[in-house]
């Protein structure tokens, strides 16, 4: 595929299919690419994250994107009209590649250390972000997630998953008794009604608790029958995963609630700080009208921001409605505008 030089990082990165757990070839490419672009230090850390560093000043800015994607490979294609197709074009290799290109173009800035991280496992349990949050202590951080080139994301909801299993001794189908599938259905109906009641007073979707039935399976080994449900939740600010698990346990007692995976609380950043002001100016410098958004999904911002305790935003090109879909694509124009915004914003920030 013939690719314009200013799109090479993105297109080549998309060419390395990297669902969670299979990021190695994409990580190796990104480290090589950052080295080619003149980064001072490039390496793969202990958990498989790609790290690139330029500069060595006392001020530290981290640009944290994720290099893994959801499963489902999409052939990489650059249309004649400048639209780039591929898994991760939006979520979130577009943002990560833009970080790499912007920092590479800026080179060293006196007094500043710029650190780009391509984190692994974000689409599962965020192993990469959980590793680096305790290794670095930046003064400012940008999280790579799609928000369109002219928007700044300030917050994400939290997430929690759980499993509920109901079981009975096996019985003849002629016996009139509630099956485990019926019991599970009634439990789910109870949880869904409880969820709706929690949201009666909340008009904004970002402030609502939202549960979803993500999987259901039943079986019978001749001695016992069972039905297992996996339930996901998007948590609003102020709703901790621990409290959510306890609420569900109280609601459906005596059924056992088993937490799954790594739960994440919601997070919303303050917009009154130099980082936000630098991005507002950067978007305007590129001809945009900046806007703020909050997202109903979850991101690594929720993991690192409470630990780093510094000004943080999420930023990146692409239409988030295309996340995880078979139609992931991004326009070259939007990608290049995002790179320009990043360059302008970082320049503005480092000149303060």
Q: Is 311 exposed, middle or buried (0-12, 13-18, 19+ CB in 10 A)?
A: buried
Token digits of residue 79: 């249309």
Letter string b/e over residues 41-56, b meaning 16 or more CB atoms within 10 A of that residue's CB: ebebbeebbbbbbbbe
Catalytic positions are 68, 122
Q: Which residues contact 111 (CB under 8 A, 6 or more apart)?
A: 57, 58, 59, 350
- Overall residue count recorded for the chain in this entry: 352
Total Cβ atoms within 10 A of residue 307 = 14
Q: CA-CA distance, 213 to 117, in Å (whole number)?
A: 33
Distance of CA 269 to the CA centre of its chain: 16
Q: Kindly calculate the radius of gyration of the chain based on its CA atoms and give it in whole angstroms.
A: 22
């Amino acid at each position: 595929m013939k690719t314009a030089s200013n799109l090479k990082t993105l297109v080549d990165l998309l060419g390395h299919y990297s669902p969670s757990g299979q990021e190695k070839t994409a990580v190796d490419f990104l480290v090589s690419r950052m080295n080619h672009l003149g980064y001072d230090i490039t390496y793969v850390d202990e958990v498989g994250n790609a790290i690139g560093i330029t500069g060595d000043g006392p001020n530290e800015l981290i640009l944290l994107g994720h290099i893994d994607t959801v499963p489902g490979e999409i052939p990489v294609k650059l249309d004649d009209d400048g639209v780039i197709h591929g898994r991760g074009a939006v979520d979130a290799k577009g943002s990560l590649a833009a970080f790499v290109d912007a920092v590479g173009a800026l080179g060293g800035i006196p007094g500043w250390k710029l650190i780009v991280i391509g984190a692994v496992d974000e689409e599962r349990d965020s192993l990469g972000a959980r590793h680096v949050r305790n290794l670095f202590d930046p003064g400012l951080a940008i999280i790579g997630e799609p928000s369109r080139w002219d928007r700044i994301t300030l917050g994400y909801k939290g997430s929690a998953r759980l499993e509920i299993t109901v079981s009975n001794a096996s019985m003849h189908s002629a016996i009139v008794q509630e099956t485990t599938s019926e019991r599970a259905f009634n439990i789910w109906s109870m949880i869904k009604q409880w969820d709706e009641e929690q949201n009666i007073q909340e008009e904004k979707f970002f402030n609502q608790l939202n549960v979803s039935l993500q999987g259901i399976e039943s079986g019978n080994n001749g001695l016992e029958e069972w039905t297992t449900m996996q339930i996901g939740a998007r948590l609003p600010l102020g709703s901790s995963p621990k409290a959510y698990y306890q609420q569900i346990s109280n609601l459906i007692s005596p059924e056992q609630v088993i937490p799954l995976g790594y739960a994440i609380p919601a997070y919303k950043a303050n917009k009154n700080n130099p980082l936000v002001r630098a991005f507002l100016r950067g978007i305007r410098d590129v001809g945009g009208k900046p806007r703020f958004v909050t997202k109903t999904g979850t991101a690594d911002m929720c993991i690192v921001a409470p630990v780093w305790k510094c000004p943080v935003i999420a930023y990146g090109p692409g239409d988030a409605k295309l996340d995880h879909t078979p139609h992931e694509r991004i326009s070259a124009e939007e990608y290049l505008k995002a790179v320009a915004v990043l360059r302008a914003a970082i320049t503005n920030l480092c000149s303060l």
